Every structure is written in structure tokens, then in C-alpha cells.
Amino acid sequence: MTQETTYLDRNEYNYGPAPEVAEVLKNFDPNKLCFYTRIYDEGKKSIFSDFLSSLYQIPEKQIILGYGGEDILKQVVHCFLAGKEKQKTLLIPKFSWWYYKSIADEVEGRSVLYPLYEDGNTFKYDFKALQETIEREKPEMVLIASPNNPTGNALPAEELDKTLSFIGKDTVVVIDEAYASFANKDTSYIKPLLEKFPNVLIVRTLSKFYGLPGLRLGFAFMGTALSRFLNYSTKYLGYNRLSEELGIAVLKATDYYQNVADQMAQDREMYIRELRPLAGFKVYDSNANFMLVKYPIEWKEKLQTALKAKGYLIKFMNEPDINTHMRITLGTHAQNCMVIETIKEVVGA
């Protein structure tokens, strides 16, 4: 019998969707698929963007929809970096998702890294170094991830405001908030941030906190100075009618997803409590659905073998200066206990 593999290397969701998802699928009228969405007659993109507008109190015209968050990231980079009369420079965090650089490469853009640094058990953005990098490179676009993958650190609203204050209004600032709902339930900062900094695009997704990466549905809040992107990204005939209704349903299922997030918060503390005391290990604080763990590199092969033998895949980092780290997606409580137990067995703790 082939052992089932548990993928804790992709930051996917292991709890299953809210019951409301099944209800939408069960009750969806397939006749709706025979027609374009009717809401574009009202000058609106989608019933989902209309719902987001009400939920976040942001004008519907400033809501962007996409085929997952990464689709919006790709589109905004292509929109503002493409063209021959530019140096096409994108600033990205030193430790971050490989995809950012890949998108810039697609339009022959320059990716320039700005530093993060370790401070105790967390990583932090180096604001002074970022400001110096911006002044030196004069980028068309700056990308900030909060929380950042793989380091797990998030920017509080006041630090975000401070950062945006020294970035020129002609520079497009993209804030990737794929994991933001794990870090902060309060979203009241979004509307005033967009009003103060109209050059900002805040990207979110239903793939992480809401655990539906297979739905491929992302959304973003756009500052008014980026109206060019609205024309670039909007699908004038509307969006997927089934996805729209599923998106609304999960955003209404607050209790279900918050209960799961609370369990994940407890398991983050369990990782810290159980693995930090191990010789040579360091467990970083996390504001996301994963843990970053530094380990003695001599244990790498044994850890990989032992975890694989029990059917678990976790991500062993290979990037420079972070290649002695592993990123572990938070699974269910039982899965997290098994990973911790296996690591402790390997190191003899």
C-alpha cells in the first residue's frame, strides 16, 4: 500500500473548507453559467468586487480581481515594468518568494534586493537600507511582502506608513498581503492607507487564510494613481460566476476560519516550545501559516529521510544565507505533532 504524502512544503491548507463552500456548490444554479455576469451593466466588475467594496468600504472601481494573488502580481509587474523607455527596476526583499524575480524576468526587468535582518527570533525590514536603495536605484516599482515568505515577519500599520512616506509618489508600491489575515484581524488601516498613498496596490488572496488555493481567486485594493492598471487588468465581460459566489461565502464564514487560525496560533507556540530548546535549532516567530526553523546543517539528510519515511514533505531552503533553514507549513494539530516528534527523534531529544 502506497503511503499518502502530506505536503507541508507549499503553505497549503490542511483543515478543509468551511461548510458554506459545500452549500454554494450544492445550491448553485448552473443556468447562471449560460450568461455573462449582469453587474457590468451597472459599471461594476463582479458581484464579488461589489461585495468586497462594501466589506472594506473602498470604492468598487478600486477593487482588482485576479486568478489568484499571483496573477495580480504578474499583471501589475507587466503593466508598469514593460516598455523600452525605462530601466525596468523592481525592488524585492532579499529573502522572499522566488516568483517576484521570475515575473520581472518575463519583461526583462531588473530585480534589486533590499535587505532584511535578524533581530532576536524574528526578521525585520531595514528601512534605512531600503531608503538608500530606492534613492540609488530609482525603481519603477517596490514590492513589500507582509507577512513575508519565508521569514514570517509582518509590518505593523505604522511601520508600513513610515515606509511609504519615503517612497516617491511616482513609484508603484505593491504590498503582497497573502498571509495578512493571520497577522492582523483589523483591516481598518487599508482605506486610509490608500487615501494617503494613491501609488499603492495591496494584494490579497483566498489561498492562505481561507484555504482555497485551488479556487484561484485573488483580489487587490488599488490607489487612485494606478488607474492605468485598472484598464489593464479588468475583464470587461465579468468573472467566473461560481467563483464569485464561493468567494463571498468564504469571506462570510468568519467563525470557521478564525477558529482554524486560533488553532494554528497555538501550534506556532508549540513549535517554539518544543524545538527552540534543541541544540543548534532556532525557531523564528511567525505571523503566517508556516514556521521558519534554523537547524544544524549536518542533520539535513537524516531529517529529510525521516520525515519522508513518515509521509511528510517540508521545504528545505537552498537560497544563499538561508540554506540552513527549513520552512514548515502548519498542518492540522496531529500533523504538526508528528513533524515535531520526528525532528526530536532524529536529533535524539
**Residue-level pLDDT at 229:** 95
**Residue-level pLDDT at 41:** 79
Answer whether residue 286 shows pLDDT above 60: yes
**Residue-level pLDDT at 43:** 85
Length of the chain: 349
Q: How far apart are CA 104 and CA 27, in angstroms?
A: 42
Answer whether residue 341 shows pLDDT above 90: yes
CB atoms inside a 10 Å sphere around CB 228: 11
In the predicted model, what is the mean pLDDT of the chain? 95
Predicted confidence (pLDDT) per residue in 204-261, tens digit: 999 999 999 999 999 999 999 999 999 899 888 889 999 999 999 999 999 999 999 9
* Element counts in the chain: helices (H) and strands (E): 13, 14
**Residue 349: pLDDT band by 50, 70, 90 thresholds?**
low
Tell me the average pLDDT across 71-78: 97
**Residue-level pLDDT at 339:** 98
CB pairs under 8 A, 24+ apart, for 53-62?
Answer: 55/251, 56/187, 56/190, 56/191, 56/221, 57/191, 58/190, 58/191, 58/194, 58/221, 61/230, 62/194, 62/221, 62/222, 62/223, 62/224, 62/230
Q: Which is higher by pLDDT, 298 or 349?
A: 298
Q: Is 186 left (phi over 0), alpha (psi -120 to 50) or beta?
A: beta
**Residue-level pLDDT at 171:** 97
Tell me the average pLDDT across 8-29: 97
Answer whether residue 66 shows pLDDT above 90: yes
Predicted confidence (pLDDT) per residue in 141-169, tens digit: 999 999 999 999 999 999 999 999 999 99
Answer whether residue 295 shows pLDDT above 60: yes
Tell me the average pLDDT across 271-288: 97
Architecture of domain 19-252: 3-Layer(aba) Sandwich (3.40)
Answer whether residue 1 shows pLDDT above 70: no
> Alpha carbon 86 to chain centroid distance?
28
**Residue 85: pLDDT band by 50, 70, 90 thresholds?**
low
**Residue-level pLDDT at 12:** 96
Residues above pLDDT 90, as percent of the chain: 91
The reply to whether 6-16+255-347 and 19-252 are identical in fold is: no
The structure's pTM equals: 0.96
Element (H, E) at 125: strand 122-125
**Residue-level pLDDT at 37:** 83
**Residue-level pLDDT at 107:** 93
Q: Which class is domain 6-16+255-347?
A: alpha beta
Q: Which three cell numbers stand for residue 206?
A: 483566498
For the chain, the structural domain boundaries read 6-16+255-347, 19-252
Residue found by looking up cell 461548510 in the block: 19
